[in-house]
């Protein structure tokens, strides 16, 4: 009944500890905390509606087939039973079933099943018992237990909705026997006890099935949370916390169709200057701390969620800037360069600058220029080497040429 929830994403606000707490608690009330309950309904509701519709059609067909039993067991009631089943029960039940196509909320969904599969069916049975003229028809009151079983086993109506319906069925069964059939007290008690036992067993089964369903959902939810965390970790560089090469490749693949379209696209390659000297002089642990510091500085200079930074390998980082012109990317890179230099991370190597610096290579594409992501990165790599050849600790193309680049951008857009 839960349906397939493997492809449904988990909200970021969901605390995995809440799932573990719900599993440990196993509330006898068959109710999750509000956030989990909302997720449960979101994930299982549409599939449950589909299953209820299919099973409702089966129930309606079987109910009408009992007209054959009416013909043999109570011929004098056949026409009355036929019209009750076909003219009244079937259209109303079909109308209620059709409302499930709208995927109503849980309260309406379960209430519709209690009304259509329970109240209507029991009501028609009692009507036929009253129309039998005091002539006992055991097949009628005995068929009430089939209604309870249909709601419990076939439709699996949620326990707290099923409970009042089953109790109402038990009361209706007892009153109908006493009112319409002149059974002696002993047979009435025995018949009601059998019916009552069936109701109790059905309620126990309903409670157990829903409890197991909810537990299964929580376990699958925990598995999804663990898989989601593992998937997230597989896309993260463990040292810096940035996206790794796998995440970069997936991001570029997503961006590829839009590159060269109406929006600009730029990338920034960053290389920490003389990092090998840093490692050789201060050791790899100090080098790792330096990498994390620089990664944090670069990340702090991003403009928002659209801008993404990844560890490109070793001491290199790459910043992906969708919808960003080359001139704007140069501005962002210059801001990052200044922030790294201003952090004044001491460089231990005598041959290097006193503080850690970085070189930047920028490349991008403009409207109408159809370049692939690989070509853009290759151009950024060439720009990075140009920055290194020109003395390091600089952005290439240089910010001094921003006005020229902006003028070229406008000319290309007008062309």
- Non-local (6+) Cβ contacts of 153 within 8 A are 202, 205
Task: Give residue 155's pLDDT.
Answer: 94
Q: Which two tokens stand for residue 360?
A: 């930047």
Tell me the mean pLDDT in the region 209-235.
Answer: 87
| 255-281 mean pLDDT | 84
Exposure string of 366-381, with b = 16+ CB inside 10 Å and e = fewer, is: beeeebebeebbebbb
Residues 1-12 have pLDDT tens digits of 444 544 455 666
Residue spans of the domains in the chain: they are: 16-230, 245-414
What is the C-alpha separation between 372 and 260, in angstroms, rounded?
8
CATH for 245-414 is 3.30.70.270
* Integer Cα distance of 33 and 143 in angstroms: 39
Q: How does the average pLDDT of the chain come out, rounded?
A: 87
What confidence score (pLDDT) does residue 400 get?
Answer: 57
Q: At what angle do helices 120-131 and 159-180 cross, to 10 degrees?
A: 0
Both tokens assigned to 394: 């600089």
Cα separation, 174 vs 176, in Å, equals 6
What SS3 state is found at 308? strand
- What's the token pair of residue 340? 């790294």
Which whole-number Å values give the CA distances from 10 to 25, 42, 226, in the listed order? 21, 11, 11
Q: How many residues does the chain have?
A: 415
Statement: residue 376 has pLDDT above 60: yes
Q: Is the pLDDT of residue 406 over 60?
A: no
pLDDT score recorded for residue 2: 46
The separation between the first and the last C-alpha atoms of the chain, rounded to the nearest angstrom, is: 60
* Angle formed at CA 411 by CA 405 and CA 412, multiple of 5 degrees: 90
Burial 166-197 (b: 16+ CB within 10 A, else e): beebbebbbebbeebbebeeeeeeebbeebee
Distance CA 191, CA 194 (A): 5
Q: What is the DSSP string of 1-50?
A: -----TTSPPPTT--HHHHHHHHHH--TT----HHHHHHHHHHHHHHHHH
Q: Which residues of 244-307 form beta strands (DSSP E)? A: 265-272
Selected residue with higher pLDDT from 355 and 261: 355
* ∠ Cα 336 340 341 (to 5°): 115
Cβ neighbours for 60, distance < 8 A, ≥ 6 positions apart: 89, 90, 93, 94, 97
CB 268 within 8 A of CB 333: yes
Check: pTM over 0.75? Answer yes or no: no
pLDDT > 90: what percent of the chain?
A: 55
Sheet (strand 358-365) strand order: 308-313, 316-322, 265-272, 358-365, 395-396
3 state SS of 321? strand
76-97 pLDDT, tens digit each? 888 998 999 999 999 999 999 9
Distance CA 7, CA 46 (A): 14
- The per-residue pLDDT for 44 is 92
In degrees to the nearest 10, what's the CA dihedral of 116, 117, 119, 125?
A: 120
pLDDT at 321: 92
Burial 95-104, CB ≥16 within 10 A → b, else e: ebbeebeeee
How many Å apart are CA 78 and CA 97, to the nearest integer?
Answer: 26
Q: What is the mean pLDDT of the segment spanning 227-250?
A: 86
Q: What is the mean pLDDT of residues 241-246?
A: 90
DSSP letters spanning 182-231: ---HHHHHHHHHHHHHHHHHHHHHHHHHHHHHHHHHHHHHHHHHHHHHHH
What gap in Å lies between CA 125 and CA 207, rounded to an integer? 26
Q: Do residues 351 and 365 touch, judged by C-beta distance below 8 A?
A: no
- Which of 55-64, 70-79, 365-374 has the least mean pLDDT? 365-374
Question: What 8-state DSSP symbol labels residue 310?
Answer: E
């Amino acid at each position: 009944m839960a349906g397939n929830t493997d492809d449904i994403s988990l909200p970021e606000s969901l605390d995995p500890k809440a799932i573990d707490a719900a599993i440990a608690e196993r509330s006898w009330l068959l109710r999750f905390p509000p956030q989990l309950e909302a997720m449960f309904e979101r994930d299982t509701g549409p599939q449950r509606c589909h299953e209820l519709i299919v099973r409702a059609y089966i129930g309606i067909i079987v109910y009408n087939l009992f007209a054959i039993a009416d013909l043999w067991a109570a011929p004098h009631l056949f026409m009355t039973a036929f019209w009750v089943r076909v003219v009244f029960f079937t259209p109303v039940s079909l109308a209620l079933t059709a409302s499930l196509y709208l995927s109503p909320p849980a309260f309406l969904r379960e209430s519709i099943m209690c009304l259509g599969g329970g109240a209507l069916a029991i009501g028609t049975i009692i009507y036929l018992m009253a129309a039998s003229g005091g002539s006992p028809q055991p097949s009628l009151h005995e068929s009430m237990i089939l209604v309870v079983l249909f709601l419990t086993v076939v439709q699996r109506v949620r326990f707290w909705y099923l409970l009042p319906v089953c109790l109402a069925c038990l009361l209706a069964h007892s009153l109908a026997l006493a009112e319409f059939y002149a059974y002696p007290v002993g047979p009435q008690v025995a018949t009601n006890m059998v019916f009552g036992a069936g109701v109790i067993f059905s309620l126990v089964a309903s409670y157990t099935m829903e409890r197991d369903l909810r537990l299964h959902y929580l376990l699958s939810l925990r598995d999804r949370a663990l898989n989601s965390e593992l998937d997230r970790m597989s896309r993260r560089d463990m040292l810096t916390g940035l996206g790794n090469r796998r995440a970069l490749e997936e991001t570029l693949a997503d961006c590829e169709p839009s590159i060269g379209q109406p929006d600009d696209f730029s990338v920034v390659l960053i290389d920490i200057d003389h990092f090998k000297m840093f490692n050789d002089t201060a050791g790899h642990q100090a080098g790792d701390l330096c990498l994390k510091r620089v990664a944090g500085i670069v990340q702090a200079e991003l403009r928002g969620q659209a801008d993404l930074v990844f560890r490109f390998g070793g001491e290199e980082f790459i910043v992906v800037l969708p919808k960003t012109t080359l001139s704007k990317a140069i501005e962002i890179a210059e801001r990052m360069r200044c922030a790294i230099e201003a952090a004044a991370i001491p460089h231990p190597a005598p041959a290097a600058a006193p503080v850690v610096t970085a070189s930047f290579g920028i490349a991008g594409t403009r409207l109408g220029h159809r370049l692939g992501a690989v070509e853009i990165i290759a151009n950024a790599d060439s720009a990075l080497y140009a920055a290194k050849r020109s003395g390091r600790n600089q952005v290439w193309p240089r910010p001094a040429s921003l006005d020229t680049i902006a003028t070229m951008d406008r000319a290309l857009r007008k062309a």
